[in-house]
Homo-oligomer: A and B are copies of this chain.
């Protein structure tokens, strides 16, 4: 079999949407205004590192474009990683900003930007990276490094677009000065904007973005390299804020209709994450009046509707946690019978509950039990606690317990 179902699906979507030529290429940055409007691509990256990328035309998958506002969640992750959530929250909130025309969206009382997904918040977040005293170059270097780690390749900055954008950055300059006036940032406004725009000018492909998003979806553990790039708590925080505020004043409608925490960029890309499942990216340069890629939005709608990829879609959990319960010939002490409980998959609360219930309903043939974890992939904190308590309950009831954990999925 040379074909690939997932790749086929993605390709189908591109073909179905290829005639949609609505929207306009971003015009406020001269360099972007010259962009070819044709490229159209989509990529998925599973939380175990499988990447599917498809382009409508030759070269679309390999095409590099600037990351723009899609950098916001990742920069937020880096700031959260460098500082505590508590510190970052002193400078940037996590509420939707409501009205789109209110460009400042500072909290009326604290003067904090409402969230890190709007420009005011993103400029503030950028300033936190590598410390407020950091020179622009060093801060941007840190960001490029972190993004490269997420994309699993060395990324670089598109200086032409960057310079072009700096020249037309009145909106951002306005925000930076306002943030300075409220002591939200300390750097010179020009430097703050330059630093932020360099972050926005990092060049990525649609596959890079899918992999970067998948790292968030995978709780901060890189799905390919396996490195814990940021903590679970950070990955969770970033995705929660994307869900609430990533699509600006249409966030509620997006979460209801598409249901994928997402962030778009004016270069024409949209990234999305489905926790535990996927990182997603789509790209096509023509934008609607809200600045979102028309075709990329459609791609997300297709993925959500046709492939059940919606945060609220109710795929059941934990039902296969108990692989089987069997008995084998044992020693005299077990009346010759030993019960083997084989667990599998990921053990979270739902799995733990299922295991517990299954076992309580089981009629054991003897007091000798072996719990086999060799087919278990991962055990989270509550899962481990539940397994340990299960074990202790058995022992307290006079059972003779054995545990097989060849891969060491339990913490000790």
Contact = CB atoms under 8 A, between A and B. Distances in A.
Contact of A243 (B312, B346, B381): B312
A110 to B, nearest CB: 11
B350 A319 contact: no
Interface of A: 1, 3-6, 8, 46-48, 50, 93-96, 98-99, 101, 103-104, 108, 115, 170-171, 173-178, 180-181, 189, 217-220, 232, 235-237, 239-241, 243-245, 249-253, 255-256, 259, 261, 275-278, 306-320, 323, 344-346, 348-350, 352-354, 356-357, 360, 375, 377-378, 380-383, 386, 389-390, 393-394, 397
A252 B107 CA distance: 13
Contacts of A356: 4-6
A221 B104 CA distance: 43
B170 A174 contact: no
B345 A320 contact: yes
Contacts of A381: 306, 308
A315 B393 contact: no
Contacts of A276: 313-317
A98 B98 contact: yes
B104 A50 contact: no
Nearest to A399: B1
Contact of A350 (B250, B278, B310): B278
Closest 7 CB pairs of A and B: A219-B314, A174-B177, A95-B252, A320-B345, A170-B181, A174-B178, A173-B177
A146 to B, nearest CB: 19
Contact of A170 (B189, B236, B243): B189
9 contacts: A1-B397, A4-B356, A94-B252, A96-B252, A98-B99, A236-B314, A244-B244, A261-B312, A276-B316
